[in-house]
Amino acid sequence: MFDNKSIDPITLAPVRANASFMLAHPAHWIAMGFGSGLSPVAPGTAGTLFAWLAFVVMQPWMNDVRWAWLLAASLPLGWWACSVTAKNMRVLDPGSVVWDEIVAFWLILWLVMPASVLEQLAAFVLFRFFDAVKPGPVGWADALFHDVDTATDPAAWRKAGFGIMLDDLVAAGCALFVIAVWKFFQ
């Protein structure tokens, strides 16, 4: 699952995200959202915008079964890619890793469609709010794996990758809950 190189995060500085780092390993390319995570401003928002665009582009060829398969494959793939990339960057939750935003927003769009562009925008804003502000359960999920000891825990980077994915899935669940309540009272 990981490179055979032993990385000591205490003695080595974090690696800066750039195009050459992203292209150095397929996991980096995936985790960094095919370049959207390299945005110098709000990479999580850039990754979510990429997810929205990719969803719209793929939508004509997709149905519920294909979306379910894509999402089911994207979760373990994302866990692996986020784990490898975090380890290689020597950061538990790098800002440039945006695969978590991509998969979580695909899930939201899949579950709210059909939806108008305005409803999709509302879903985008809600998801970004929950992901950025991290209220309640999102903050809890985000904090779960931020204290792993990479020097002594052999599973630390797998835990970090899982944590990277988890808080965005919880943010997606919170956004979907708000959307469901809103639709219920319409």
Is 1 among the domain residues? no
Domain count, the chain: 1
Is 167 among the domain residues? yes
Residue 160 C-alpha from the chain's centroid: 12
Is 9 among the domain residues? no
pLDDT digits (tens, 9 = 90+) for 121-173: 999 999 999 999 999 999 999 999 988 898 899 999 999 999 999 999 999 99
pTM for the whole thing?
0.92
The residue range of the domain holding 164 is 19-184
Residue 2 has pLDDT above 50, yes or no: no
For CA atoms 133, 136, 138, 140, the dihedral sign is positive
Is 120 among the domain residues? yes
3-class state of residue 165 by DSSP: helix
Is 6 among the domain residues? no
Is 10 among the domain residues? no
3-class state of residue 62 by DSSP: coil
Is 35 among the domain residues? yes
Is 30 among the domain residues? yes
Half-sphere exposure of 95 (CA within 13 A, CB side): 12
Over range 80-105, report the average pLDDT: 97
Position 1 confidence tier, pLDDT thresholds 50, 70, 90: very low
Check if the beta carbon of residue 167 is closer than 8 Å to that of residue 135: no
